[in-house]
Amino acid sequence: MAVSDIAGAEDAAAAIRAAGGKAAGFVCDVTDEAAVLRCAADIKARLGPIDGLVNNAGAYPLAPIEQTDAAFLERLFRLNVFGSFHCIRAVVPDMKARRRGKIVNVASATFHAPPPMLSAYVATKGAVIGMTRSLARELGEYDINVNVIAPGLTETPGVAEAPFGDEMWAGVLAAQCFKRREQPADLVGTVVFLCSPASDFVTAQTINCDGGMGVH
């Protein structure tokens, strides 16, 4: 498995190896299309063709509409939307040639249950869901699956740093069927399913993995 991140990828890969898995870390800024292409070529040279891609890099800054100016929007779309396009464009030629591939885009349960102060963020995740649906139609004839996982509020390092107080958590727990905070490990099964042959006939879908907060 290749773990790619702007920082800390090797630490994540080492943790996977320590748990018995196979992983290598790669440094890449997904907002830089040339760097993404270089990284994909590097991964292919070291590990072989890329059969599965999980577009996870993203940010969720809170901002009222007064602060959601063009510069803010551009920064966020470059990471949450352009980044996914760059990574997909880097892997699709090989996937098409090999007639196999699994692409998993990470959106958010906030698209279905939007909180305030996140209009730009929710817009980026709507873009990811829309792009997924069209791309699944485009790539289906090459047997490439394109799906979305939509996590609920999850206790990640980014959330620990964000100004999401106990009040936000209380609202989320009240809305979820399961009355505990979602953990990163809760997302693993759905991502593995979407990357495995078990999901070969599943494409263009958005799967909520949010403890039953959203229903659709």
Contact positions vs ligand NAD (CB under 6 A): 5-8, 28-31, 56-58, 60, 79, 106, 108, 151, 153-154, 156-159
Beta bridge partners of 209: 151
Tokens at 69, concatenated: 């100016």
**Cα–Cα dist 49/37, whole Å:** 13
Contact 135, 146 (CB under 8 A): yes
Q: Which is nearer to ligand NAD, 100 or 173 (CB)?
A: 173
Minimum distance, C-beta of residue 98 to ligand NAD, in the bound complex (Å): 25
CA-CA distances (angstroms) from residue 117 to 61, 69, 82? 9, 13, 22
> How many beta carbons lie within 10 A of that of residue 14, not counting itself?
14
121 annotated active-site = yes
In angstroms, what is the minimal distance from the CB of 82 to ligand NAD?
10
| CB-facing half-sphere around the CA of 44: CA atoms within 13 A | 16
From residue 11, give the alpha-carbon distance in Å to each of 24, 194, 195. 9, 25, 23
Q: How many angstroms separate the CA atoms of 38 and 200, rounded? A: 29
Which listed residue (26, 82, 121, 193) is catalytic? Answer: 121
Q: Which one, 56 or 199, has the nearer CB to ligand NAD?
A: 56
To the nearest whole angstrom, how small is the minimum distance from the Cβ of residue 26 to ligand NAD? 10
Contact (Cβ atoms closer than 8 angstroms) between residue 149 and residue 106: yes
Minimum separation from the CB atom of position 155 to ligand NAD (A): 7
**Catalytic positions, written as ranges:** 121
